[in-house]
């Protein structure tokens, strides 16, 4: 029986020009390149320029994805932008992206699930495409975490960076087997009992301010690998695939130790992991599409490859997706 699948037509990314190295951070706060590299695997991250907004970066990534997909912006009828750092409290930054791209039909909205935002956005767009309500979607992750960091808190400010990534998805009839191209399963989870372990201490209805990111790093770390591997196992159960079938593991890029620990527990060899955390830091909802675009650009990922995405972050939220390229 045939099935509608959300097939990835193309992907793209954008990084701000300014590179902030560990050495530069060590000149400002009590930290060292050695500590940051050993605990996180991060060497450098990008910082958005003054006046460079989340929507600006999202537009650049979306344009790259549209070019890669060889489709026109006018053909897009759905824009889902995953971000926790919108330009304004409202309207959604997604409508700024829609307008900048010259799209005047369909729907555009933001989705907020912190570091899991891209997987949540992928699942949402996939469901809307499969329902028949929309035909071609831009799914974007874009973040300016540099604007919500407390630059005096060495426990958090060394971890994050700015950037954006995007994919173009199209609803296509496929044979309806697990060999289909496109998104094969998405699995989403959250557990709000952990909401104060990683949060921003401000907001429109609480303080009336933007606030700064606060995190119990060790607590996040303690839960990360178990939550990630659980939800990935559910994605395997839903499709009948196993770790051995995965061609490329494209995890959320929070910390090299979390990535390696999850891959090891799942039985995915290091050679199949796409890693960008060393150059990008943790770009929250942007990290997966940034990593994907990297591995597509250097031709590691080939048509027909089975891709595994996963993320875990504030909330806690976590999730996984399996897709055939």
**Residues catalogued as catalytic:** 115, 252, 282
Would you count residue 282 as binding ligand ACO (CB under 6 A)? Answer: yes
> Interacting stretch for ligand ACO, rule CB under 6 A, among 83-91, 179-187, 236-244, 249-257?
249-257
Least Å distance, CB 193 to ligand ACO, is 16
- Using CB under 6 A, which of the segments 87-95, 100-108, 212-220, 290-298 binds ligand ACO? 212-220
d(CA 325, CA 305): 5
> Closest CB to ligand ACO among 159 and 268?
159
Does 223 engage in binding with ligand ACO (CB under 6 A)?
A: no
- Least spacing, CB of residue 314 vs ligand ACO, in Å: 6
Residues 98-117 that bind ligand ACO (CB under 6 A): 115
* DSSP three-state, residue 210: coil
Supply the Cα-derived Rg of the chain in whole angstroms.
Answer: 18
- Any contact of residue 40 with ligand ACO (CB under 6 A)? yes
Provide the angle, in degrees to the nearest 10, between the axes of the packed helices 54-69 and 93-100.
50
Degrees (nearest 5) of the Cα angle 312, 271, 32?
A: 60
Residue 221 CB, nearest distance to ligand ACO (Å)?
4
Q: Which of 184, 60, 215 has its CA nearest to residue 122?
A: 184
> Which member of 117, 141, 161, 313 binds ligand ACO (CB under 6 A)?
313
Give the x-and-dash track for 139-178 against ligand ACO (CB under 6 A).
---------------xx--xx-------------------
Distance CA 281, CA 144 (A): 12
Residues with Cβ within 8 Å of 241's Cβ and at least 6 positions away in sequence, in order, are 178, 184, 235, 306, 322
Instruction: Assess 182 for contact with ligand ACO (CB under 6 A).
Output: no
How many residues are there in the chain? 325
- What is the C-alpha to C-alpha distance for residues 228 and 223, in angstroms, rounded to an integer? 9
Largest interatomic CA distance in the chain? 61
Q: Applying CB under 6 A, which residues contact ligand ACO? A: 31, 35-36, 39-40, 115, 154-155, 158-159, 198, 215, 217-218, 220-221, 224, 252, 254-255, 258, 282, 312-313
């Amino acid at each position: 029986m045939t099935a509608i699948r959300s097939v990835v037509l193309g992907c793209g990314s954008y990084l701000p020009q300014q590179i902030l190295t560990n050495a530069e951070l060590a000149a400002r706060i009590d930290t060292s390149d050695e500590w940051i590299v050993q605990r996180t695997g991060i060497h450098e991250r990008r910082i958005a320029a003054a006046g460079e907004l989340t929507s600006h970066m999202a537009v650049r990534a979306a344009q790259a994805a549209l070019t890669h997909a060889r489709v026109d912006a006018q053909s897009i009828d759905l824009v889902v932008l995953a971000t926790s750092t919108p330009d304004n409290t409202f309207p959604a930054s997604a409508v700024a992206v829609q307008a900048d791209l010259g799209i005047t039909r369909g729907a555009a909205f933001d989705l907020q699930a912190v570091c899991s935002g891209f997987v949540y956005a992928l699942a949402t767009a996939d469901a809307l495409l499969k329902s028949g309500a929309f035909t071609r979607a831009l799914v974007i992750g874009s973040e300016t975490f540099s604007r919500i960091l407390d630059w005096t808190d060495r426990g958090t400010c060394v971890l994050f960076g700015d950037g954006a990534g995007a994919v173009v998805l199209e609803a296509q009839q496929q044979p309806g087997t697990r060999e289909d191209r496109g998104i094969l399963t998405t699995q989403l989870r959250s557990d709000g009992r952990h909401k104060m372990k990683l949060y921003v201490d401000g907001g429109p209805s609480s303080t009336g301010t933007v606030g700064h990111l606060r995190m119990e790093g060790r607590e996040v770390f303690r839960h990360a690998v178990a939550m990630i591997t659980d939800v990935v196992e559910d994605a395997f159960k839903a499709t009948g695939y196993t770790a051995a079938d995965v061609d490329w593991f494209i995890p959320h890029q929070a910390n090299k130790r979390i990535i390696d620990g999850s891959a090891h527990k799942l039985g995915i060899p290091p050679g199949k992991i796409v890693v960008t955390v060393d150059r990008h830091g943790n770009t929250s909802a942007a990290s997966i599409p940034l990593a994907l675009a990297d591995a597509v650009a250097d031709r590691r990922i080939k048509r027909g490859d089975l891709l595994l995405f996963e993320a875990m972050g504030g909330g806690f939220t976590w999730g996984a997706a399996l897709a055939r390229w």
